[in-house]
Amino acid sequence: MQKLFKDKQDFVDQYEEACQREFGRSFDESSPEERYYVLASLIARRSRNVQHDAHKKGEKRVYYFSLEFLLGPLLDNYLLNYGIRDLVAEGIKDMGDSLGHLEEQEADPGLGNGGLGRLAACFLDSMATEGIAGNGNGMRYRYGLFRQEIIGGRQVEKTDNWLGQGYPWETRKIGSSVVVQFGGQVIRHEKDGRYWFTQEGGELIRAVPYDIPIVGYGGKTVNSLRIWKAEPYTHEDFDLDAFNAGDYAKAMKFSSDATAISTILYPNDAGEHGRLLRLKQEYLFVSAGLQTILRTYEKEYGPEWQQLPEHVCIHTNDTHPAMCGPELMRILVDDKHVDFDLAFKIAYKTLSYTNHTVMPEALEKWPIDMFRKLLPRTYMFIEEIDRRYRDKFPRGNSDWYE
- Report DSSP letters for 25-53, one per residue: S-TTTS-HHHHHHHHHHHHHHHHHTS--G
Residue 16 is assigned to a structural domain of this protein: no
Give yes or no for a contact between 145 and 117, defined as CB atoms under 8 angstroms apart: no
| 275 in Cβ contact with 269 (< 8 Å) | yes
Can you give the length of the chain in residues? 402
Better-scored residue on pLDDT, 144 or 402: 144
Asked whether the whole model's pTM tops 0.85, one would answer yes
Whether the per-residue pLDDT at 250 is higher than 90: the answer is no
Residue 361 has what pLDDT?
A: 67
**What is the per-residue pLDDT for 195?**
86
Cβ atoms within 10 A of the Cβ of 354, count? 14
Please count the other Cβ atoms lying within 10 Å of the Cβ belonging to residue 54: 20
Would residue 269 count as lying in a domain? yes
Specify the number of domains making up the chain: 1
Average pLDDT over residues 300-306: 96
Domain residues for the domain of 189 are 54-72+107-392
What pLDDT, on a 0 to 100 scale, did the predictor assign at position 53? 47
Instruction: Say if strands 185-191 and 194-200 run parallel, antiparallel, or are unpaired.
Output: antiparallel
C-alpha span between 352 and 175 (Å, rounded): 29
Confidence of residue 56 (pLDDT cuts 50, 70, 90): low
- Percent of the chain having pLDDT more than 90? 74
Q: 102, 36 in Cβ contact below 8 A?
A: yes
Q: What is the DSSP-derived secondary structure letter of residue 333?
A: I
Answer whether residue 246 is part of any domain: yes
DSSP-derived secondary structure for 273-325: HHHHHHHHHHHHHHHHHHHHHHHHHHHHH-S-GGGHHHHEEEEEESSTTTTHH
Answer with the residue of higher pLDDT: 16 or 360: 16
Residues 6+ apart with CB under 8 A from 133: 52, 54, 55, 59, 60, 61, 62, 127, 223
> Is 310 within a domain?
yes
In sequence order, the 6+-apart residues with CB closer than 8 A to the CB of 78 are 43, 47, 213, 215
Q: What local confidence, expressed as pLDDT, does residue 400 receive?
A: 60
Report the pLDDT value the prediction gives residue 55, as an integer from 0 to 100.
59
Q: What is the pLDDT of residue 79?
A: 96
How far is the C-alpha of 269 from the C-alpha of 277, rounded, in Å? 8
- pLDDT for residue 171: 96
Question: Which CATH number does the domain housing residue 144 bear?
Answer: 3.40.50.2000
**Is pLDDT larger for residue 237 or for residue 91?**
91
Q: Average pLDDT of 7-18?
A: 96
Residue 268 has pLDDT above 60, yes or no: yes
Cα–Cα distance for residue pair 321/340, rounded to 1 Å: 21
Secondary structure, 3-state, 54-67:
HHCCCCCEEEEECC
pLDDT at 19 over 90: yes
159's CB contacts (< 8 A; 6+ apart) are 143, 146, 147
Inside any domain, residue 150: yes
Evaluate whether residue 10 is within a structural domain.
no
Q: Which residue has the higher pLDDT, 192 or 377?
A: 377
CA quadruple 362, 368, 373, 376: dihedral positive or negative? positive
> What's the Cα-to-Cα distance from 269 to each of 237, 278, 364, 401, rounded to whole Å?
28, 7, 11, 30
Decide if pLDDT at 134 tops 60.
yes
* Residue 90 to residue 98: CA distance in whole angstroms: 8
207 close to 179: Cβ distance less than 8 angstroms: yes
d(CA 20, CA 10): 16
356 within some domain: yes
How far is 122 from 127, CA to CA, in rounded Å? 9
- Is residue 46, in this structure, part of any structural domain at all? no
Q: How confident is the model at residue 124 (pLDDT cuts 50, 70, 90)?
A: very high
Q: Is the pLDDT of residue 57 over 60?
A: no
* CA dist 135 → 195, 297, 342 (Å): 36, 14, 26
pLDDT digits (tens, 9 = 90+) for 98-107: 999 999 999 9
Q: In this predicted structure, what is the pLDDT of residue 54?
A: 44
Answer yes or no: is pLDDT of 39 > 70. Answer: yes
Chain Cα centroid distance, residue 93 = 36
Q: Which percentage of the chain shows pLDDT scores above 70?
A: 96
Asked if pLDDT for residue 399 goes beyond 80, the answer is no
pLDDT mean over 308-334: 97
pLDDT over 80 (residue 211): yes
Residues 46, 88: Cα–Cα separation, whole Å: 14
**Which range has the worst mean pLDDT, 72-81, 291-300, 352-361, 382-391?**
352-361
